[in-house]
Amino acid sequence: MHGFAKSVGIATLSLCSLAGADTTVHISGTLSYGATDNAFGAPTSPPLDVPQPAKTQVFTAAPALLLFHDRPRSRYLLSYQRPYVYYLDMDGANTVADQLSADGIFDVSESDRLELHLQASSSTLAQHTLNGFGTPGVENQSEDVYVQLNAAESWTRDFSGRWRGLQSMGSGLAWPIDVDVEPAFRYQTFAELGIEHLRERDSYAFLTRGNHFHSNAHRVGAVSTAAENHFLGSTTARHRRDLTIVWSIEERLGITSAFDFEGSSAFFPVGGAALRYHSDGNSAELLVERSVGINLILSQVSQIDSMSLNGGIPLWRQQNLSLSATQRVAHHQVGPRAGYWVESAGTFQSEVQVLWTPEHASIALRYQHFQRFAAGGFAPDRQLFNFHRNLVMLTVGGIFPSRDMGPVSTGASQRVDASDRVPLLAPSE
């Protein structure tokens, strides 16, 4: 991975020597210092054979090389990052990762938009405890190292002022390294098609999606595991309405079917509702939903019922000072196949961040509380434990030479009027 990344960096610099001002190369990086009371998600009241929660201070450094391109109707970002994580009181837990990514938005024509995403990484699951929302089980395996490859694309076409086509597909591959196993190569693919009808302030969409997951036969120590195959298919009806120029709502209702080669099958109602607000830098979303999906790392099917509230406001516009927050509560049911749940747990996440972005730099102060509660197993050999974790992190970042970089990964518009769609440079600019 290291030699490959070095070659990519050399090739990137060579390409940019031929590029104009629309394409630029940058060196960037972040330095973070924080403290946590449970670095690896240890149980709150652990049994005798389980480690106690580890209180520690943590320092991270993440240098990166970027190539950014922004021209009329096209914008993309290529990056290589090498994050280092140092636990000041736990030398043996220090980690390093390699991450390559490419994201782009392309207005292929006046009526077609294409988004692409590629990612390759080699990292330990310990880094999941430092950012983002966890899935039950991930925190208990934080010393495992995984290589992951992911690719996805989404396409939107306006057939007319009334009809819009939606399409997306992707795949992912993951396998563990540096552990006493015969590697378990896991991959999944998905594809989705949809049609949307627009009618003044309302839109009505019908979407169908298929997902296939495979894990090869493998061995962990003296235990052998047979190959696994899971198939998930779903159909969903969706309604959106723009209440005003800043408020909008969405409702979704559908059914997901799951089956495997062993003859097991199950059906689940899925859906959700959302209330959204977006105006001049202020944003908020209240979302309630049920989803059924596959965790590529854990080789498990999960059903998640969740409610979340997310938002952000500018605190001082002239100084680019902003506040964002996330609150999420969820109930997870996890099993080797859909409908056969062997673990369940509730989770709660609360996160608040203050971000200051002066010229050429960024400074962020973040607090996160994560809690897993009412955890348990339905099988004698499966057991999740309750735990909680608090994390405070100060991060300073910079980029040279400086440049304003617009978003390169947005997802589909969430409003009927598409006013939240990220604009690209017009041909006349």
- Establish whether the linkage from the previous residue to 423 is cis, with ω within 30° of 0: no
Look at 136-140, 339-343, 395-399 and tell me which has the smallest mean pLDDT: 136-140
The verdict on residue 168 lying in a domain is yes
Mean pLDDT (the chain) is 83
Neighbours of 289 (CB within 10 A): 16
The verdict on residue 407 lying in a domain is no
Tokens of 149: 């490859």
**106-142 pLDDT per residue, tens:** 999 989 999 999 999 987 765 655 554 444 444 444 5
The verdict on residue 413 lying in a domain is no
The verdict on residue 47 lying in a domain is yes
For residue 263, the SS3 value is: coil
pLDDT of residue 333: 86
Number of domain units in the chain: 1
The verdict on residue 420 lying in a domain is no
The verdict on residue 415 lying in a domain is no
The verdict on residue 410 lying in a domain is no
pLDDT of residue 10: 40
With bands split at pLDDT 50, 70 and 90, how would you rate the model's confidence at 216? confident
pLDDT of residue 15: 42
- Whether the per-residue pLDDT at 18 is higher than 70: the answer is no
Name the residue with higher pLDDT: 164 or 136. Answer: 164
Residue-number span of the structural domain to which 171 is assigned: 2-400
Tokens of 71: 């021209």
CATH number of 99's domain: 2.40.170
> What is the DSSP code string of 116-160?
EEEEEEEEEGGGGGGSS---TTGGGGTT-EEEEEEEEEEEEEE-S
Q: What is the 3-state composition of the chain as percent helix, strand, coil, each rounded to the nearest 5?
A: 5, 65, 30
The verdict on residue 427 lying in a domain is no
